[in-house]
Structure 1
């Protein structure tokens, strides 16, 4: 399967948003738990930035999921 980086980031952002909403966490609360800005969470969720692995680990920890679960989604 050959997907574009943009398609991957869009689907990744959607998945992060779904995980966050499933936990009942606002973007602001997630950002605070990660030690990053709310705008950074927003930009990840709408595929405006390609974030670092360090930030991914912070997000996974804040959502109480294994980091690999952040990548457990289907490409649409």
Structure 2
């Protein structure tokens, strides 16, 4: 499973949802879906815009974890 750690990077950069949504040119609703790990996919252009706005790498936002890890940890 791929986890989206967008909230962690936003906190590190002290950037709110509204500001990031404006910079990335994405709706607050879609950004919220991504931030809350509800997205089924993300376009590379969106990922690139998020990385540019947050000055980070895709690996700072996306994390692969085995399904068992989520069950054990949660």
Task: Tell me the SS of whatever aligns to 1:59.
Answer: helix
Q: Which runs of 5+ in 1 are unaligned?
A: 1-6
RMSD after superposition: 1.7
Q: Which runs of 5+ in 2 are unaligned?
A: none
Q: Runs of at least 4 residues of structure 1 off by over 6 A?
A: none
Give the structure-1-normalised TM-score.
Answer: 0.72
Q: From the two aligned structures, give the one with the greater helix fraction.
A: 1
Q: From the two aligned structures, give the one with the greater strand fraction.
A: 2
1:4-30 deviation line (CA, Å, top 9, x unaligned): xxx31xx22xx1110011111111110
Q: Determine which structure has greater relative contact order: mean sequence separation of CA pairs < 8 Å that are 6+ residues apart, divided by chain length.
A: 2
Offset at 1:67? 3.3
**Greater Cα radius of gyration, structure 1 or 2:** 2
Give the structure-2-normalised TM-score.
Answer: 0.73
Offset at 1:69? 3.1
